[in-house]
Amino acid sequence: MTETTDPTTDPTTDSPTGTAPARPPVVDRDAWQAARDELLALEKAHTRAGDALAAARRRLPMTELDGSVQVVGPDGPVPFVDLFEGRDELVVYQHMWHDGDPVSGQCPGCTVNAWHIQQAAPYLRARGVSFAMLTEGPWAEVVPFLRFMGYTEPWYSVRGLPAPVGVDMGHIACFLRDGDRVYLTYRTTGRGNEPAAGIFGLLDMTPYGRGEAWEDVPDGWPAGRTSCWYWATDADGEATWGPTRRPTPQWTRPGATPVVPGDGGGHHH
């Protein structure tokens, strides 16, 4: 996550001209339903296209990796194959890490993704799929972060390990086990993490969307900002990439005090 823009206005209330933003046209309920039905046809086509994409994903080849490579968890080094917990499938999120930074200084994008994905772990296991979080952070630094965030799912440090287990963080990866042999079957790129983080789908349903500059919006709609501008906020809930920020999900945690630059990050270990 490398965004540096410091937003100072709310895109849902301000427009480039300083006037009230444009609104959707007002129609009666029958006209609204007709327009909604027309959009529904597009949504259903999108759903079917997604099903076809998932079917193609299931037909990808796979590539073998060394399942004996050691990752570090709460009980010390363990072989990567142990992360399967005896199951055949494994999903991991690869969490970026900023060495030496306080909890509030860790990657907002990975925090947003991890916050969503951790909640999915019990459902994955019910389906027979194991889950783990991997990070490049040294284990001694990771532990207080996990304690602060309240994470209870398995985390492991993969510091110094080669791809696809280590390096190039910020992605979701899927693995398949055949006995002691381990294979990489899929890995996200770019915006591929979005399906696992419900915030994006919810915002896409709202009239003003994500408020990001790349979005296709009607004339007169609020001007969009830098991508991901709302992933970090200050103590007042205002989006900012300034020195008083912390990743947005962190404000829900006990002990998430305001961040004062130079005081160690505004958090309790």
Q: Is residue 267 part of a domain?
A: no
pLDDT of residue 261: 87
Rounded CA separation 245/267 (Å): 12
Q: Which of 133, 11, 147 is nearest to 72 (CA)?
A: 133
Strand partners, 10: none
Give 20-43 as a DSSP string: PPP-PPP--HHHHHHHHHHHHHHH
Q: Which residue has the tokens 């823009």?
A: 5
pLDDT of residue 263: 65
Question: Which CATH number does the domain housing residue 90 bear?
Answer: 3.40.30.10
Q: Is residue 235 part of a domain?
A: no
Give 125-140 as a DSSP string: HHTTEEEEEEESS-HH
Let me know: does 69 contact 157? Beta carbons within 8 Å: no
pLDDT of residue 20: 75
Is the pTM above the cut of 0.95? no
Domain extent, residue 183, equals 61-192
Rounded CA separation 149/127 (Å): 26
Q: Is residue 198 part of a domain?
A: no
Number of domains in the chain: 1
pLDDT of residue 264: 54
Let me know: does 149 contact 110? Beta carbons within 8 Å: no
Contacts of 51 (CB under 8 A, 6+ apart): none
Q: Is residue 145 part of a domain?
A: yes
Name the 3-class secondary structure at 253: coil
Q: Mind listing the pLDDT tens digit of every residue in the chain (269 residues)? A: 444 444 444 555 444 445 678 999 999 999 999 999 999 999 999 999 999 999 999 999 999 999 999 999 999 999 999 999 999 999 999 999 999 999 999 999 999 999 999 999 999 999 999 999 999 999 999 999 999 999 999 999 999 999 999 999 999 999 999 999 999 999 999 999 999 999 999 999 999 999 999 999 999 999 999 999 999 999 999 999 999 999 999 999 999 999 998 765 444 32
Q: Is residue 50 part of a domain?
A: no
Cα angle for residues 176, 130, 141 (degrees, 5° grid): 110
Q: Is residue 184 part of a domain?
A: yes
Indicate the residue type of 216: D
